[in-house]
Every structure is written in C-alpha cells, then in structure tokens.
Amino acid sequence: MIRGAVGVDRQVGGALTTGSPLLCWLEECRKDSVALVGGKCSSLGELINIGVRVPPGFALTTEGYRTFMAESGMEREIKFLLQKLDCRDLEALEHTSASIRGVIEAHPFSTEMEDLVAERYRKLSVRCGIPAVPVAVRSSATAEDLLGASFAGQQDTFLWIRGINEVLQHMRRCISSLYTGRAIAYRANHGYFDDLMAIGVGVQKMANSYTAGVMFTIHPANGDRSVIVIDSNFGFGESVVSGEVTPDHFVVNKVALDIIDRTISQKELCYTVDLKTQTSQAIEVPFERQRVQSLIDDEITELAWMGKQIEKHYGCPMDIEWAVDKDLPSGGNIFILQARPETVWSKKQLAPVANAGASAMDYILSSMLAGKKVK
C-alpha cells in the first residue's frame, strides 16, 4: 500500500472511493493494519478484538496522512529541505528538522478533513459520556514495529488534549514527529526513503488513572517466562515509565496467577491531571499514602490475566502499559494502553539448561558435581 501511494497525486474524494478511509475507529484495526494505521493503532485494535479492555478511540490513517501532505503541497517543500542536508552535521540536522516540523505544524487540514475528525471526536465524546472528552494523541509509526528498529519514545504522545482545535493541532504535531532529527538521520543512514514513510495518528480517550504502570510477561531481570512482572504507582504511568519513582513491584506466577513476590516502595510523587490547564503534572503523594500498595491484589490478578491473554495471542513475551481508571467502577476499570513485543530477552539466544542427549542420571550427576551456591 505504501509503495502504491508513491508519487500519486490524489484527491480526498479519490481516496475515499478507493476504499482506504482517512479515519477509522480503533476497533476496526487489526494486527495486519500496520500499513494503514501504524503499529501502535493496529496493535490497539488487535487488542480490542481479542477482548482486551482498551480505551476507545480513532485513528488518522496513513491514507489520511498522505492526503494531508499531498493536499498541502508540503511534500515538495520537505523534499527540498532534505536534499541539501548533510546528516553528519548535527546542527544542520536539528535546524532542518525544526524547519520541517514548523511547516507541518503550521499547516491546517482541509476543511473536509477537519469536519471528518470533528465528527469522530464528537462521537467519541458521546461514547465516553464526557463532553469534549480529554484524549491522548499519539503518533503510530508504520516502520517502528515492523523493522525491529525501535523508535519507541521518539514519536510524540500528547496527553490530556481536549477540544477539537487542540486535537487537530496535536495530530499535526504527531505527524511532524516523523521528522525529528534522529528519525531523519536514522533513515538516511539505513537507506530508507523519506517519501516512502507514512505515519498514523491515534486519538484515544485519556484513561483517568488512579494507578498505572507497566507489565512484562517475562521477567525483565532473568528472562523467566513463567512470571508476569508489574510495576505500578498512583496516578498516570509517566512516573513509572520515566523512572522518576521507585514503583511498587509485583511478581505474578503466570501459570497460577498468584502473587509470588511484592515490594511496596515509598512513592513520593505521582502524576495527575491539572483540571485547569488539562495537563498532567507531578504532585507529591501524601505521606500517609506513600507506602500504601498502589494496586490491590484483585487488580493485580486481573491485570496479569490480561497480560497472559495478550501474550497468548501474540505468541511472544509482551511489554504492556496499563491503567486503572478512577472514573469507572471496579471490575471494568483496568485498561491496556499499549502492548508491544518484549525485545531484550526475546532476541537473546539462550543456551539450553539440559546437556544434549543427557539422561536424568547424567543431569543428577552433573548437578551434584556443580552443587548449590551458598554465598
């Protein structure tokens, strides 16, 4: 689909009639929708379709992205800026990146596209029962997960966006994130053509999280596949992802789903939304709550169960972001925000524990000779 789009000068109407939509609901996306909506949105759609609870939302498709770029005539301008760039010159790289991003962010969508986005946003607000529902707007790259070239964290995510104008503005900022200095340099160094690149943008209800964090369906420290490891803190997951606090840490047995280890840490800060500015902000956790377990046992079990389903579906260990929404009653308030394959242990070629062709006797003998370490 990407290849087919190269150099084709297309109209909005034309795109619609060919059947590739400019926008779609997340639940319409599947694992194989990466070319259409990018990796992040396609994996969210896939999760919804396997029965995992994910905050609702919609996506600007790569078709929508190309339409935006083509309609505006920006493509030529960007090409021109890139042609004269020497990527080894870091200063020039940053300068060019800033120029390109400025061009993209300043350029409005067509009225037709604005109306389409506005309609989706309105419907989403109705679905959530919140007028002008606060959303997360995030880029969803097509190359990220496909090539194993992890850009994780490089494309931007904007939280607590509220109102159609803000949504449109941040969608453009996500699109422009395709042209960060690092992304430009990476493509130049690896021989990818910029004009083959496309990006999707996800617009998704903000989970108003009481508690949030990350979950690995493999032990990140020792590669043990029989456990699920959860890190959690009060508020949004930012404090956990960024490493600003030592989160609570739970190790759950993947087979039996019981908690086999727990460390309750002193959590001094957490992120919450500032209702006036609609931005997330770090606040101090009240002293008496700092050592309180941020995720209750039943939630841990439910979350781990979800993690197990996700892993089973994808067939590999997963790295998952999640949140417990405080606006919703328990039993329906745990959301998966993101799920991607774990990359560290999955790539490692682990040596077998057994000696090839060894009998039980051989193993007993060799283990006896090795003994048990005491110190």
Contacts with another protein by CB under 8 A lie at 219, 222, 224-227, 251, 253-256, 258-262, 297, 350, 352-354, 356-361, 363-365, 367-375
Inter-helix orientation angle 111-128/164-176, to 10°? 110
> Least distance (Å) from another protein to the CB of residue 309?
14
101 and 176 Cβ atoms separated by less than 8 Å: yes
Considering the complex, state which of residue 276 and residue 373 has its C-beta at the smaller distance from another protein: 373
- Strand positions, DSSP E, 109-258: 135-141, 157-161, 199-205, 209-216, 227-234, 248-253
Q: Which of 226, 372, 268, 247 is nearest to 321 (CA)?
A: 247
> Least distance (Å) from another protein to the CB of residue 358?
7
Question: Helix, strand, or coil here: 261?
Answer: strand
> Least distance (Å) from another protein to the CB of residue 256?
6
Q: Which of 38, 55, 56, 69 is nearest to 139 (CA)?
A: 38
Considering the complex, state which of residue 15 and residue 304 has its C-beta at the smaller distance from another protein: 304
Considering the complex, state which of residue 158 and residue 314 has its C-beta at the smaller distance from another protein: 314
Q: Which of 204, 209, 184 is nearest to 195 (CA)?
A: 184
> Least distance (Å) from another protein to the CB of residue 217?
11
Q: How far is CA 227 from the centre of its chain?
A: 22
Q: How far is CA 259 from the centre of its chain?
A: 26
Considering the complex, state which of residue 21 and residue 247 has its C-beta at the smaller distance from another protein: 247
> Least distance (Å) from another protein to the CB of residue 225?
5
- Which residues are CB-contacts of 277 (< 8 A; sequence separation ≥ 6)? none
Q: What are phi and psi of 41, to 5 degrees?
A: -70, -35
Residue 315, judged by CB atoms within 10 A of its CB (0-12, 13-18, 19+), counts as: exposed
> Least distance (Å) from another protein to the CB of residue 308?
10
> Least distance (Å) from another protein to the CB of residue 305?
13
Considering the complex, state which of residue 6 and residue 363 has its C-beta at the smaller distance from another protein: 363
Considering the complex, state which of residue 286 and residue 371 has its C-beta at the smaller distance from another protein: 371
Q: Let me know the angle formed at the C-alpha of 19 by 18 and 25, rounded to the nearest 5 degrees.
A: 150
154 and 182 Cβ atoms separated by less than 8 Å: yes
Considering the complex, state which of residue 275 and residue 360 has its C-beta at the smaller distance from another protein: 360
Distance CA 103, CA 251 (A): 47
Considering the complex, state which of residue 160 and residue 216 has its C-beta at the smaller distance from another protein: 216
Q: Which two tokens stand for residue 217?
A: 């369906």
> Least distance (Å) from another protein to the CB of residue 319?
17
Considering the complex, state which of residue 273 and residue 295 has its C-beta at the smaller distance from another protein: 295
> Least distance (Å) from another protein to the CB of residue 289?
19
